[in-house]
Structure 1
Amino acid sequence: MRRWNVFDRVGPQVNNPNQTMGMFLAEAYQKIAQLQVILNNDPMQMEFVEQQVKELFDLGAGLCLTGMIANSMNSKEHDKRCEETRLEYAIPLRAGHERQVEVHLGAGHISYAATLYCQPKSPAASREDHTPGLDIDLSQYGFSENVSPWLVSKVCRTVALAPSLDQAYVELQRDGIQLTRTTIDRIVSRAGSESLTVRERMLEQFERGDMKQGCEFTGRRVSVQIDGGRTRTRGVLEWIDPVENFGKTQSQVTGELSAGRSKETRRSSRFQADWREPKLLIIYAHDDNGRRDEAVRVLIDGSFGDADYMERLISMHLHRLGANKAKTITFNSDGATWIWGRIDSILAKAKVESAVVVNQVLDVCHAVENLAAR
């Protein structure tokens, strides 16, 4: 039987939301009475009281979710889904053994669950294709490394919008989500890796001919903008034998500038990294005047892959969004030959009908630059 504990690893065991909400209400009545006294004595403490009330009900949400999941896990339907998942997994899995894990839920609430973890039957097969084992219970609810789907989304969006990981950490703390910087980095890295895996599976499905054409762009004017960028990527540090090269820096050993963050003692040392070109694309619908259609989501994607990979990626996105039934498709880009030489191939792979009007527009900024140069 799966067990869920709240507050700590040996805290009260819960089985249903009625039980956890009873715990919350007992806590809430006492806390609200204390906050009411503070507000009555000093109305200027409103911000503090407001924050405390928010955190209180975040606790209630976490307790409620814990009770709901605990109740759901102890059902025959859950056992059936777990067994189906285990049998259909990418590699054969063992029956599983129970382990207690720390589970992060919405708003940063932490509970402790004893769930089943299924190891690969063949460790060699797991290492060969980098497929890990699976927490068979939590996977049914979309957890990623014991973090709930909503919390993963919240953390990733905050990190994406913040100028740095440190600032994202501060913003999450203000929202009552108590996660370490290491945990935040792990959540974001894991989500990125999983997203890339999903994209690869979508490409495979598209190229097998199993992906259905969508209808999101039916009858709409579609714009596809493609460009290349520039970014630095950290190089691989060369290992230095600590005995043979005691007291020496990487540059002194290799005779070259340090790759990655420099270990040099000179104050003039700085980060050394190679330039790479990410290839970027944005696909959106617009009206007759070129203004973006707010009713249709914008798709933004990119890759460090080569031009062939980008051709596959654009074709797949146009196919699944239903560009084959669009009113018009406009490709907008600079003068890079790797883009314009592939338009016909992209349209063919996406199965765009001949009735769709296709426009090819040179980006005005790049066009003006070339005119000025001449």
Structure 2
Amino acid sequence: MKSSLAHRITSSALITMLLTGIAMAAPAVATAEQERITELTLEMAFEKVLRSNIDLEMLRLDADSTYYDSLLTLLDRRTIRENWIESLADAQDKYVDSAGARRDITVSEASVRAMENSLCLDLPKAFFEALAVEAKIRLQKRNINRIGALTPQVQAPSASSGSKEALRELEDNYKQVMATLNEQLGEHSDKKWNLIPKGLTDYQPPSLLEELQNSAYEKRPDMVTATAEKEFAQKEVDIIDKYSTLATFQGKIKKNNLRKTELEWERVKKKVDQEVAENYQNFISARQAFDESKASRKAAEEHYPLAVTEYNNGKISAQEMAKEAANLSELETKNEEAIYQYNIVVATLKKSIGD
């Protein structure tokens, strides 16, 4: 009974190999080398880069000090009662100093976020390139096994050698992209990672462009800074207007400062609107290409076993079978490239809205 069961399992596995060209996996053995390979998601890569940068740590300390300095100012100015205010200078001490303290907190936090974005600017591309080459290596190995599972009549004379040469080129390329990734992570070039594509193709932005742009106004460091500066300049003008007159030299200077911050705010907003709109359109196109390539790949993978069966039954020629194998390999590769392009576009869109 045990022998019969084993025979059925073995036969089933062999049939699967012949139909799909996927080599049977060897039993997993937890070696010491495997245990040293650490999992790495894109978010973990971000955290690693940000943890190890001394300049960022110093800027964070400065921002922390700014927060407490500003808090002391706010607490002190709160003790000034409104009915104590008898002059413009008194009003500026209470209201302008408080507005300046809130501005300083906002700007210092935005500066930290801006440096974080700058440090991680090229990291998504390096991470996704490594993932893409990994996937192409798996596909190439699968293609070699698939070719090997076919009869000699189906295999082109140079198909096997050409596929193996392509595999060697991919493996060399993988070493290069991993060296680039490790350089950004501050690791030695041959450090190995178990790259995890966590939720990369599940991103769903708001359906309306205006929602994305509004989100960018609230999150992007450049927009946050421009807004904080404009609001502070407005407060300075309002206080002079209320407790004195804008016709004074000081009033004219503060009005000029306000206009400058408004112009800067408009310039930053225009840049944000353009970047978000362009990246959102790129996202829509990349998502469509990804969905289409995924559907084509799935259809080809489902059809391939049927083609093998038809070939074995003499219903299609060796040349037709070779085309089926080549078509499946091509669609798999195109899908992996679409995934890579989609991930890059998503990372760019998220950066442009401040996520």
Higher helix share: 2
Q: Is the TM value for this pair above 0.5?
A: no
Task: Report 1 or 2 for greater relative contact order, CA contacts < 8 Å, sequence distance ≥ 6.
Answer: 2
TM superposition score normalised by structure 1: 0.25
Q: Which has the larger radius of gyration?
A: 2
TM superposition score normalised by structure 2: 0.26
Higher strand share: 1
